[in-house]
Structure 1
Amino acid sequence: MNNIRLPQILVLNALGLALFFSWYLPAGHGAWFTLDSSIFHFFNQSLIKSHAFLVFVAITNNRVFDGISLLAMGSLFFCYWRKETPKGRRRMVIMGIVMLFCAIIINQLGHLIPESHVSPTLYFPNIYRVSELLHIPTKDASKDSFPGDHGLMLLIFTGFMLRYLGQKAFAIALIIFLVFMMPRIMIGAHWFTDVFVGSLSVVLVCLPWALLTPLSDGLINLFDRYLPGKNKTIN
């Protein structure tokens, strides 16, 4: 990609800023808080209505489940990697390094937003917490849940899949994002808007400047030139 896709970047940036300020500017976050509260209380009441749902939510917010999300992303990546030539495999590995680098930078930028709040499980009184209902190690609260770090990383992965591996990989990555992000919302460790406003707006503002400019390709080419093993076959 030789040119900066400025119109697309500006449209995505505008969408991200509009999304964020539609939440940030209204007093008490306006209609977004009503939606957040409704979603949280719906799932919170469901915890005591169904033991199966309670166990499901507890398991899917265990640290082991985070490992499964990494396995899912790695499996998608591997499916495309194994079809590549040795040169293509090397570039895919480097693309993964660049993706991780971008994720770290964007995550740090996301935390510069002048907004911080606790998760709904710590905000609302007289609610149910999975950690108190079951003796299963699980994450059901956060003292700083905005923007959602987990959702941010999954969305960045999704963006890279679209940019470098195409629409099919993007669709699968989007499913992975939903499958592994929704349990955080169902258990109350995140508000709905932590992810679908916070994480999404940060990605819409920051990620296009990496993927729709020569930046990501340039970093891949730079690492390809200087990282060792360029003339070796990656099996």
Structure 2
Amino acid sequence: MHRLPLIIALNLLGAGLFFSWYLPINHGIWSAVDTQIFFFFNHLAVTHPGFATVLAITNQRLFDLISLLAMGMLFAQVFLRQRRLGLHEAVALGLVMLVSAVVLNQLGHLLPVSHASPSLFYRDNPAIMRISLLSGIPTKDASADSFPGDHGMMLMVFTAYMLKYAGRKAFFIALAITVLFSLPRVMIGAHWLSDIMVGSLAMVLMGMSWWLMTSTVDQLIARVILLMPPRLRRVNQ
């Protein structure tokens, strides 16, 4: 395992990131950053109804489907249109990526942390307004347990796979997709910034490093291919 030093370094980075939030009283500097960001965007929404409407729209489930479509288009462009993988390999990679993201997300919720989103944490503050009430549009503006950010984690896992299998260009496009579709959750108050920048990122650094920087994922993809119908196992053209 010639990559073991890098894997250990990424795990230490992820652990350090998590403990920089977990150990300090009231989460230290993270709490101040989280609070300032939430109050800034909430005040902006209160004083600018149009912005509240944009936040409400970009946090609906339909917008989540748009993020899935963006990832799917990038995946298809890289692995199918550019003929990097055969159909059977692309399908196997997609399935393994989905399963690993779900497993990592479930492991993330085993962390000894549970807290409400800022929109619920500050709900008794008269200066705070829920975006769904401001805009009149039902939307995802709160979470009873927002740590780690599951939506952000899924996007980060996709980005990590792009880095391994698709190269730097696809990685940076995936990174832009991650930022674009994670920010609305923070701006509306459904997540603290630290839910994503600490919770999601730490889990991905620690979990995906062992998964993607060893032969484990390639071995699983090969096994999935063997289980596929013979008509899908065609040679790349």
TM-score (norm. length: structure 2):
0.94
Q: Does 1:147 align with 2:148?
A: yes
> What is the aligned partner in structure 1 of residue 112 from structure 2?
114
| Alpha-carbon separation, structure 2, partners of 1:234 and 1:186 | 44
Matching residue's letter, 1:181: S
Deviation at 1:233, TM superposition (A): 7.2
More displaced stretch, 220-229 vs 160-169: 220-229
**Residue 14 (structure 1) aligned to one of 12, 15, 31:** 12
Question: For the Cα contact (< 8 Å) 1:158–1:170, is it kept in 2?
Answer: yes
Q: Tell me, in whole angstroms, the C-alpha distance in 2 between the residues paired with 1:176 and 1:140.
A: 20
Once the two structures are aligned, what percentage of the paired residues are identical?
51
Matches within 5 A, 1:1-235: 3=1, 5-80=3-78, 81-84=80-83, 88-124=86-122, 125-126=125-126, 127-228=128-229, 229-232=231-234
C-alpha deviation, 1:226, in angstroms: 2.3
Structure 1's unaligned 5+ residue stretches are none
Q: What secondary structure is seen at the aligned counterpart in 1 of 2:86?
A: helix
Cα deviation, 1:149-183, whole Å, max 9, x if unaligned, reads 00010000000000000111100000000110000
Indicate if the aligned counterparts of 1:4 and 1:212 stay in contact, CA closer than 8 A: no
Q: Does structure 2 retain, via aligned residues, the 8 Å contact 1:90–1:234?
A: no
Aligned partner letter, 2:119: T
One-letter code aligned to 2:96: V
Question: What TM-score, normalized by structure 1, do the two folds share?
Answer: 0.95
C-alpha deviation, 1:232, in angstroms: 4.5
Give the match's secondary structure for 1:141.
coil
Task: State how far apart, in whole Å, the 1-side matches of 2:223 and 2:232 are.
Answer: 12
How far apart are the structure 2 equivalents of 1:122 and 1:4? 46
CA distance in 1, matches of 2:144, 2:204: 22
